[in-house]
Amino acid sequence: GSCRQRCCPGRNNACWAPGARRARCYCDSYCQRTGDCCQDYLAMCRRAAVGCAVGPWGPWSGCSSPCGVGSRARSRQVTVPPRHGGDPCPDLKQRRGCLGQHPACGTAK
């Protein structure tokens, strides 16, 4: 079977070609895990693979709690989405703890 003009990302049971002895061979990126890729999968599909690319991290947000324990967050954007079974995107959000210390915190009764 041939993957010519038929490369699919992820696991896609509809992405197959007729193989040897009436068996199906697959052209989705999951076929590498299951070992049932068409013979030309690497040459036809992995060459076309584009891995995810992301931009820089944005700034940390302010603490979610003005007084006491809270959290800060930051994010980044996808600049190039993955295609044809390329590497998936890394985390786009991060969170960390913080301690809010607004000047009014100590005066509340």
Sign of the C-alpha dihedral computed for residues 99, 100, 102 and 108 taken in this order:
negative
Percent of the chain at pLDDT > 70 equals 94
**pLDDT score of 12 more than 50:** yes
Output the pLDDT for position 109. Answer: 45
Answer left, alpha or beta for residue 13, where phi above 0 means left and psi between -120 and 50 means alpha.
Answer: alpha
Residues of the chain with CATH 2.20.100.10: 54-106
Neighbours of 12 (CB within 10 A): 15
SS3 4: coil
Instruction: Please name which of 51, 64, 62, 54 lies closest in space to residue 91, comparing C-alpha atoms.
Output: 54
Identify the CATH homologous superfamily for domain 54-106.
Thrombospondin type-1 (TSP1) repeat (2.20.100.10)
- pTM for the whole structure: 0.53
- For residue 20, the 8-state DSSP code is G
Residues recorded for the chain: 109
